[in-house]
């Protein structure tokens, strides 16, 4: 996903110190003073004092669970650490049987064999077992079983884990491999749902509430990092709500913003799609990506489970996510101007155009192929229409029109267009598009339709 990749880093678990204190005060009042007490009362007080002293000595020597006026800090700290360790063990044991490895298989075309090593003379592949034109394992990620129904087990994973897969296999924690089917997938949210035979599947992960997470709360990431199999990593929640830009088409152009949980648990390649769980063993996020830059460590991200479950429900019901559909494929005007400044340079690195409202696999035009645009000098931000279809085409938008507003909201990029459309509008809503056509400012109003799976 552009600069974002899947990578996880494990941190040292800090000890949690709990201290509780209580004080019991005993007052004996006698107007004549202690010297007038009876022998019985003096004996009672002496016995009680001895008993209290014995209890305090026991607590100091053996530790008393962190209570009483003489609680020892070291005893309390050790007790708290043991409690955290037990919660970690119990939480992971609760979820681990529901965590699976997800294998993406694709046909390797002739002449495009993956580099699996060199022979002694430095030429050719070192793996003779792979045959060009056959299906090969091209990627491995993780997933979590969240539902059992009618003999089927359903798995949440990332879209990028199963993207372009011709077949998908699931590896259970016991080592058994099963065929899986893609129920639905959504590139925008990077989520997908798989279905497999539910025979002998006993454990289903419990879904928690990401809205209840707090900064510094301990969390566990479970998955299949680097293809090594079942693995755990622990850390804390760095920030419960973070917005990061992503490149949906992996072309270096940020065209979406993802809402994520930031954690200092690292997500290594293969950890993607696995669950992020709290200390109660409940899924609070789906591990998704990291900042993949030199010198950056412990900066991983997970999709909040509160955001994920409505998408999962839509994928289960329809196989896709229902969103309002404007019907334009666009490129940012800023990219166009940048390309215009490079016209004197030799043809080389092609600059790809942005892909409209979020479609995954359109063939995009190159910015350098666009004709000169007729725009007022003050217009520097907007999106160029590469193709208009559906409702936009019917409303009169065409190639090379430049959209500058949706309703009264200024639009300066494809990202802003998507965010306004998906966050602020619903299917069936009216929308007003303000755009330049042959240098003239125009508007078009129409109803937003539903974007189907094919579109």
If DSSP codes are grouped into helix, strand and coil, which group holds residue 139? strand
CB of 132 within 8 A of CB of 111? yes
CB of 278 within 8 A of CB of 219? yes
Residue in 437, 438, 424 with CA at minimum distance from that of residue 326: 424
For 212-314, list the strands marked E by DSSP.
218-223, 231-246, 256-263, 275-277, 282-291, 300-304
Question: What distance in Å separates the CA atoms of residue 100 and residue 157, rounded to the nearest whole number?
Answer: 10
Tokens of 420: 């306004």
What is the chain's alpha carbon radius of gyration, rounded to the nearest angstrom?
31
CB of 58 within 8 A of CB of 10? no
Q: Which of 71, 142, 160, 231 is catalytic?
A: 160
**Residue 434 forms beta bridges with which residues?**
405, 443
Question: What distance in Å separates the CA atoms of residue 15 and residue 236, rounded to the nearest whole number?
Answer: 12
Buried b (16+ CB within 10 A) or exposed e, 58-95: ebeeeebebebeebbeebbbebbeeebeeebeebbebb
Q: Which of 6, 7, 186, 190 is catalytic?
A: 190
| Beta pairing class for 300-304 and 218-223 | unpaired
Question: What distance in Å separates the CA atoms of residue 75 and residue 66, rounded to the nearest whole number?
Answer: 7
Residue in 222, 219, 220, 221 with CA at minimum distance from that of residue 237: 219
Q: Which of 272, 314, 364, 413 is catalytic?
A: 272
**Is 272 among the catalytic positions?**
yes
Residue in 270, 147, 277 with CA at minimum distance from that of residue 208: 277
- The residues annotated with a catalytic role in the active site are 160, 190, 272
């Amino acid at each position: 996903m552009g600069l974002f990749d899947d990578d996880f880093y494990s941190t040292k678990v800090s000890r949690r110190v709990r201290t509780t204190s209580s004080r019991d005060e005993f007052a004996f009042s006698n107007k004549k003073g202690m010297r007038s007490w009876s022998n019985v009362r003096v004996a009672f007080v002496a016995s009680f004092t001895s008993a209290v002293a014995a209890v305090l000595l026991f607590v100091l020597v053996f530790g008393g669970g962190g209570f009483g006026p003489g609680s020892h800090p070291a005893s309390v700290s050790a007790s708290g650490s043991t409690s955290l360790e037990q919660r970690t063990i119990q939480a992971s044991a609760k979820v681990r049987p529901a965590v699976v490895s997800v294998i993406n298989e694709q046909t390797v075309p002739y002449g495009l064999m993956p580099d699996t090593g060199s022979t002694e003379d430095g030429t050719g592949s070192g793996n003779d077992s792979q045959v060009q034109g056959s299906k090969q394992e091209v990627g491995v990620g993780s997933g979590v079983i969240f539902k059992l129904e009618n003999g089927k087990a359903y798995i949440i994973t990332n879209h990028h884990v199963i993207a372009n897969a011709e077949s998908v296999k699931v590896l259970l924690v016991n080592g058994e491999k099963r065929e899986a089917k893609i129920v639905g997938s959504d590139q925008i949210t990077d989520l997908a749902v798989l279905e497999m035979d539910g025979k002998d599947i006993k454990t289903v992960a419990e879904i928690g509430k990401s809205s209840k997470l707090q900064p510094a709360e301990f969390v566990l990431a479970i998955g299949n990092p680097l293809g090594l199999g079942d693995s755990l990593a622990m850390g804390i929640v760095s920030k419960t709500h973070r917005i990061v830009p992503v490149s949906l088409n992996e072309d270096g152009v940020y065209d979406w913003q993802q809402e994520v949980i930031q954690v200092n648990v690292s997500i290594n390649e293969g950890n993607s799609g696995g669950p992020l769980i709290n200390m109660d063993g409940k899924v609070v996020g789906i591990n998704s990506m990291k900042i993949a830059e030199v010198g950056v460590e412990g900066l991983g991200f997970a999709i909040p489970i509160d955001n994920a479950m409505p998408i999962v429900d839509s994928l289960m019901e329809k196989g896709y996510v229902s969103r309002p559909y404007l019907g334009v494929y666009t490129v940012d005007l800023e990219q166009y101007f940048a390309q215009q400044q490079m016209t004197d340079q030799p043809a080389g690195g092609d600059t790809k155009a942005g892909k409209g409202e979020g479609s995954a696999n359109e063939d995009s035009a190159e910015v350098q192929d666009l004709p000169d645009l007729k725009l007022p000098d003050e217009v520097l931000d907007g999106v160029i229409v590469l193709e208009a279809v559906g409702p936009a085409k019917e409303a009169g938008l065409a190639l090379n029109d430049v959209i500058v507003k949706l309703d009264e909201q200024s639009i300066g990029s494809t990202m802003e267009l998507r965010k306004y459309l998906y966050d602020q509008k619903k299917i069936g809503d009216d929308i007003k598009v303000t755009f330049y056509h042959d240098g003239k400012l125009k508007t078009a109003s129409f109803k937003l339709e539903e974007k189907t799976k094919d579109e």
